[in-house]
Amino acid sequence: MDHHGHPRQRGFFASRANLVLLVFLAVAGFYLMSEHWAHLVGAGPLLLLLGLCVGMHLFMHAGHGGHGSGSDDDPPPGGRAPDGHRH
Residue 83 lies inside a defined structural domain of this protein: no
pLDDT at residue number 31: 95
Residue 35 lies inside a defined structural domain of this protein: yes
Residue 22 lies inside a defined structural domain of this protein: yes
Q: In the structure, what pLDDT confidence band is assigned to residue 19 with cuts at 50, 70 and 90?
A: very high
pLDDT at residue number 53: 94
Residue ranges making up the domain that contains 29: 12-61
Single-letter residue type at 25 = L
C-alpha to C-alpha distance for 3 and 57, rounded to whole angstroms:
50
pTM: 0.41
C-alpha to C-alpha distance for 82 and 74, rounded to whole angstroms:
8
pLDDT at residue number 83: 63
Q: CA 54, 33, 52 angle in degrees (round to 5)?
A: 15
In angstroms, the Cα distances linking 27 to 21, 30, 35, 38 are 10, 5, 12, 19
The number of domains in the chain is: 1
27-79 pLDDT, tens digit per residue, is 999 999 999 999 888 998 999 999 999 999 888 876 665 556 555 555 566 65
